[in-house]
Structure 1
Amino acid sequence: MLTAKAIMTAGLALGLAGTARAQADSCTLGCAVEAVLERNPEMAGARYRLDEADSALREAQLKRLPSLAVNSSFTRGDNPVYAFGTLLDQQSFTQANFDIHSLNHPSLVSNFRNSLEIGVPLFTGFELQSFERLGRLGRDAAESGRDRAAQKLRYETTQVFLQVLLQEELARVLAERVEASGSEIESARKLKAKGLVLGSDYYAAQAALGGLKAWQTRSSADLAAARSALAILMGAPSMVKGTLAYKEYPLEREAELADKALQGRPELRQAAFKENMAAIWRRKEGLSLLPKVEAFAALETDTRDFNANPWNRLFGVRAKLALGDPSYLPRRFKAEAAWQASRADARKLRQDVALEVSRAWQGLAGARAAWPIAKDTLDKARQSLELFRPLYREGRQSILEVLRAEEGLARAHAAYLESLYNIHDGRARLLLAAGSLDNAAVREIERGLEAGQ
C-alpha cells in the first residue's frame, strides 16, 4: 500500500517532469519567427515569384542564341506557277512538262515540304537589350518583394508572441487579485454575520469582486485567441518562452531613421525597380517601329510520295519593318501612362514610409516615457493595498475600500504590463518602418524578453 510520503514524492516527480517537458516544448521569439518564415504561404509565394523572375531573365538572355525550327506542310493545287515550281523542287520535272497545254493547264500536284531552319538575330530594334534589362530589374523587384514579406511576417509574429506573453502575465496577475479578494470577501462574510460589517459595503465589495472575475474571463479569452493566432502562424501550438521586462532599446534620431527607411525599405526598392521597368518599356515601345534583321539558313525537302526526298539549301538575311502599325500610338500612350503612374506610386510610397517612421518613432518614445509612470503607479497601488489591509482588520476601513484597492492594483499592474508590451512592440514596429527588421533585430528583442526570466 502506498504511503502518503510516496504519493507526494510521485506527484512531485510528475510535476517536475511536466515542467521540464513544457520548457523543452516552449519556443523563443527567434524560434517562432523561424518557423513562420519556413512555412508561411506568403513566403512560399515570394520565393516562387523570385524563381519566376530568374526564369524570365534566363529566357531574355537565351533569346540571343540561334533558334532552330522544323517546319512541315502539305499542299495540293493546279496553279501553273505552283505546279511548275513544285515539280522543279521535287526534281521530277520532265520533257513532257514543257508541253504548252500542260504548262497552261497542269494537273493537280501534291507536295510535302519539310525544312530544318536556323535563325540568328542580328538586330532586333534594341528589343533583346530591353528584355534583358527588364529581366534583371524584375528579379531585383522580386527579391525586394521577398524581403518585404519576410520583414512583415517577422513583425506579425513578434506582435502575436508579445500578445501571448502579455495575456499570460495578465492572467497570472488577475488570478492573484481574484484569489486575494475572495479571501477578503470570505472574512467579511463572517464579520457580517456577527454584525461587524455593513451589508451595503459587503455587497458593494462583492460587486467589485464580480468585476474582477469578469475581467479575468475576458483575459482568458484574449489569451486563448493570442495562442490560437500564434499556432496558426507557426503551424502548430507551442508554449512561449520569455517574460515582459523593461529594456532600454536605442532610439536613433527620427531624421536618421527616416533617411535609412527611404534608402533601405524593400517596398521603396521594389517601387524604384518597377519605375525603371516602366521607363524601359516606354523606350521599347517608342523603338518598336525599327526593323528586325535576322540571318537564316535552311535545309528543305520537297516530295510527292516520299519515294524521293531531294534536299535544297537556302541561306540569307531577312528584315522585317512594320509600316502603318495602327496600334503603335496607343501602345506608346499606354507605356507613357504606366511610367507616369509608377513615378506617382513611388512618390506616394515615400510619403507613406516617412509618415510610418514618424508614427513608429513617436510611439516608441511615448512608450519609453510612459514606463516609469506606470511603474511608479504600480508601486503606489501596492503600497495602498498594504496600508488598507491592516486598517480593515483593525476595523478602521471597510471591506469595500480593500476591494477597491485590489482592483486598483490589478489595473495598475495591467497598465504596467501594457507599457512593457508597448516598448517591445514599438521597437519592432520602428525597425519595420525603417526597413531593418531582420533576424539580428529579432534576436535583439528576444534578448530583451529573456532578461526578465
Structure 2
Amino acid sequence: MKITKPVIAAFLCCSSASSAWSGAALSLADAVAGSVEHSYELKSRAAEISRAGAASRRAAAMRLPGLRFRSEATRGDDPVYVFGSLLRQKAFTMDDFALDKLNEPSPMANFSSSLELSVPLFTGFRIRDSRRLAGIAAAQGRAVYGFAEKGTAFETTQKYLMLLLKTELARLAGETAASTRDELAAADRLKDKGLVLGSDYYAAQAVLSSLAAAETGFAGEARAAAASINVLMGGEAGAAVTPSGALARPPYSLPDEQELLSGLEKRRGDITAAGLQSEAAEIAKNMESNSTLPQIGAFAGVQTDTKDFSANPFRHMAGVSMTIPFGDFTRGARVEEKAAEKTRAENSARAMRDAAAGLIAEYYRGYESAKAVLPRTEEAEDNARRSLELFKPMFRQGRQSVLEVVRAEAALMSARAARTEAVFRLHSYYAALMFVSGNLDGARIAEISAALSGGSK
C-alpha cells in the first residue's frame, strides 16, 4: 500500500476529537493485527509471492529433458504418402513397383505412434537468466509484501491515534461544559440578586453552547475514526470500539537521524524492489544481447507405423541440432530498450530513497518540535488551572463576572487540548518516522501499543 505524504500530513495535523466508546477495549497491537489479517492488499501480495515461486520452479525445470508422445491415424491415396507408408510399415513388395500402382495407388491407412526425447544442451544462457529473473521476481514480491504490511500497520496506527485524540478532546469538552453549567447555575442565583449583568450571562451561555458543539463534533469525528478502524479489520463500520489506554507522554528513545537513514534501501521494501528491478533489467538486456547465440539441443525418438496393428515395426533416430538466428534487425533496439529500463529503475530507486530521506528529515524535526512544545503546554495548563481556581471564589463572592469564570474554564480546556495534541503529535511523528525509515515492524508496534496502554486519562 502506498502512503503518500499528504495522507501522512493529514494524520499529523490535529484539531478535533472523540467521545468514549462502549464495547470491548481494543489495543493498538490488536487493531494492527486485525488489519493485517484482513487486508486484501496483503493477500494479493502473498499471491504474487506464490506466483513468483511457481515461475522460479518453472524456470528451473527448463533444464530438464522433454518427453513427448504423438499418435495419429491417416488415410489417403497420394502417391508419395502411400509409398512412404509402405516403407514405414515394412510392407513393400515387388508388385508395388508397378507403374500403375506407383502412379495411381489405392487408398491406404496408416496408424503412427512416436515417442520423442529432447535435451537442451546450450540455450545461449537463456535458462540461467530465466532462473535469475524468477529469483529476482520472488525477492521483489517478498520485499513489496513487507512494505505493504508496514503500510497497513502505519495506516491503522494513525487512525487509532486519531481515535484516542478525538476521544480525549471530546472528554475535555464534556467536562468543561459540565463545569460551565455549574457556574451558570450559580450565576442564575446571583442574577436574581442583581449581581450578574445580563450581557455577561448570555455571553457565558454562548461559550457553553460552543463547548457543547465542540463535544458533539469531537464525538462524531471519533465515530468516524472508529468506523474506519472497524473497516480495516473487516468488521462493521458502525460497531462500537473502545480504545484501551489513552494519550500520555511517550517514553520513546528516538534513534539518531543518520541511523534512520543508514541501510534505508534494505529496510524499505519498495526501495529494495526498485533496486531489484534494475538488476532484472540488466539481466533482460543481456538476454537480448545473447539472442544471436546458437541454440543447441540433443534429440532422440522411436516411431512405429502399422496398417492394421498386426505388425508394429519400430524405427529410431537420435542426433544433435543447432539453430543460429541471422538477420534479426530488431536486436539492437531491444537491447537499447532494456538498457533504458535499467536506467529508469536505478533513477526510480534513487528518487524513492531521496523522498524517504526528505520525510525522515521532516518528521524528525516535527518530533523534536512537538517534544519542545509539550513542556510549554503543560506550563500553560498549570497556569490556566491556577487562574480558574482564583476566579471561582471571587465569582461566588460577586467580585468577578460569570463571563470571566467561563472564559477561564475555556482557557483551561484549550490548554489541556494543546497538551493532548502535543502528545498526539509525538506518538504520530514517531510512528511516521518508523514507517518512512522502514522500522515499523512488530516490535515497534508493540512499543507504541504499550506506551498508549500505559496512558491514563
Structure 1 position 343 matched with structure 2 position 346: yes
**1:116 alignment partner in structure 2:** 115
- Post-superposition shift, 1:92? 2.2
Give distance in 2, aligned partners of 1:160 and 1:260.
28
1:55-66 alignment to 2 at 5 Å? 55-66=54-65
SS in 2 for 1:251: coil
| Aligned-partner residue type, residue 67 of structure 1 | G
Q: Deviations over 1:246-287 (max 9, x none)?
A: 124222222221123244221111111111011101111111
| Aligned-partner residue type, residue 50 of structure 1 | I
| Aligned-partner residue type, residue 385 of structure 1 | L
Give distance in 2, aligned partners of 1:447 and 1:332.
54
**1:259 alignment partner in structure 2:** 262
| Aligned-partner residue type, residue 254 of structure 1 | E
Structure 1 position 243 matched with structure 2 position 242: no
Give distance in 1, aligned partners of 2:342 and 2:244.
49
Deviation larger for 279-288 or 336-345: 336-345
Given the two structures, how large is their TM-score scaled by the length of structure 2?
0.89
Structure 1 position 278 matched with structure 2 position 277: no
Give distance in 2, aligned partners of 1:193 and 1:316.
117
Q: Deviations over 1:213-257 (max 9, x none)?
A: 111111011110111111111223543212211124222222221
Give distance in 1, aligned partners of 2:22 and 2:392.
37
1:45-444 alignment to 2 at 5 Å? 45-236=44-235, 238-444=241-447
The alpha-carbon distance between structure 1 residues 109 and 360, as it changes in their structure 2 partners (threshold 3 A), is farther
Give distance in 1, aligned partners of 2:67 and 2:396.
100
SS in 2 for 1:426: helix
Give distance in 2, aligned partners of 1:329 and 1:262.
33
Give distance in 1, aligned partners of 2:72 and 2:341.
42
In 2, are the aligned partners of 1:360 and 1:433 still within 8 Å (CA)?
A: no
| Aligned-partner residue type, residue 327 of structure 2 | G
- Post-superposition shift, 1:296? 1.5
Give distance in 2, aligned partners of 1:418 and 1:50.
41
In 2, are the aligned partners of 1:121 and 1:294 still within 8 Å (CA)?
A: yes
SS in 2 for 1:116: strand
| Aligned-partner residue type, residue 428 of structure 2 | D
Give distance in 1, aligned partners of 2:187 and 2:308.
114
Give distance in 1, aligned partners of 2:284 and 2:386.
71
Q: Deviations over 1:180-205 (max 9, x none)?
A: 11111222223223322111111111
In 2, are the aligned partners of 1:257 and 1:434 still within 8 Å (CA)?
A: yes
The alignment-based identity, stated in percent, is 38
In 1, are the aligned partners of 2:36 and 2:149 still within 8 Å (CA)?
A: yes
Deviation larger for 184-193 or 33-42: 184-193
SS in 2 for 1:242: coil
| Aligned-partner residue type, residue 126 of structure 2 | E
Q: Deviations over 1:335-366 (max 9, x none)?
A: 22222221221121121111121112112111
User: Number of paired residues?
Assistant: 432
In 2, are the aligned partners of 1:289 and 1:322 still within 8 Å (CA)?
A: yes
Q: Deviations over 1:421-440 (max 9, x none)?
A: 11111111111111111111
- Post-superposition shift, 1:104? 4.1
The alpha-carbon distance between structure 1 residues 336 and 79, as it changes in their structure 2 partners (threshold 3 A), is farther
| Aligned-partner residue type, residue 444 of structure 2 | A
In 1, are the aligned partners of 2:165 and 2:424 still within 8 Å (CA)?
A: yes
Deviation larger for 72-81 or 404-413: 72-81
Can you give the 5+ residue segments of structure 1 that lack an aligned partner in the other structure?
A: 1-21
**1:38 alignment partner in structure 2:** 37
Q: Deviations over 1:119-152 (max 9, x none)?
A: 1111111000001111111111111011101111
In 1, are the aligned partners of 2:23 and 2:241 still within 8 Å (CA)?
A: no
In 1, are the aligned partners of 2:174 and 2:211 still within 8 Å (CA)?
A: no
Q: Deviations over 1:398-449 (max 9, x none)?
A: 1111111111112211111111111111111111111111111111112211
The alpha-carbon distance between structure 1 residues 307 and 191, as it changes in their structure 2 partners (threshold 3 A), is farther
Can you give the 5+ residue segments of structure 2 that lack an aligned partner in the other structure?
A: 1-20
Give distance in 2, aligned partners of 1:314 and 1:356.
68
In 1, are the aligned partners of 2:70 and 2:114 still within 8 Å (CA)?
A: yes
The alpha-carbon distance between structure 1 residues 181 and 297, as it changes in their structure 2 partners (threshold 3 A), is same
In 2, are the aligned partners of 1:260 and 1:434 still within 8 Å (CA)?
A: no
**1:12 alignment partner in structure 2:** none
Q: CA RMSD in A?
A: 2.0
